[in-house]
Structures are given as C-alpha cells and as structure tokens.
Amino acid sequence: MALENIHNYYEQLVLRRIHEIMGKTDDDFLEDAACVALNQLPPRYVRHNVDMVYYLTAEEREKMEQQIDKAVTHAIEYVSAHRKTAS
C-alpha cells in the first residue's frame, strides 16, 4: 500500500500562511510554528488537494482560512515567546 500520497490538507496552507506573516524565517522557527498551528487544527487527510477544494463550499473554505489564521497567529506568538525565554 502506497501511503506517500496521503497528507494533511492543512500542512501547505499553514506553511504558506506562516510565510505570508513572517516572510523568510529560519527552518527551525517555521517547523516549530507549523507544528504548534497544526496541532490546533483538525486533521484533514487527502490524497490530492483538489479532492478537498472541489468538495468545500465557499463558507467552509472561509471558515478554514479563519481557523488557519487564528492557529498560525497563536503559534507564531507562542514560539516567539518560548524562544526568547529559552535564550
């Protein structure tokens, strides 16, 4: 069974949103923030992103974007705060 095609739909959306907010950042920060954000979101596993896009209504997409914004904002604040105390 080939499972390499299965992924969480939110992964690329979260990474893209972190880049939009932070611009270029170091990989450690990006990975930490992505993990914190993704742990706040429900998993949505798909084989192909088009599977998700095709079946979502405009309202569902808007709700997902709002959830992503909230999760990413929290994650960036959380990781930033904990990095400062760890230094």
Summarize pLDDT for 24-61 with one digit per residue, the tens.
Answer: 878 899 999 999 999 999 998 888 877 777 788 889 99
Give the pTM: 0.84
- Are residues 40 and 71 in contact, defined by beta-carbon separation less than 8 angstroms? yes
Output the pLDDT for position 48: 80
Name beta bridge partners: 45.
8
Q: What six digits make up the tokens of 60?
A: 């569902």
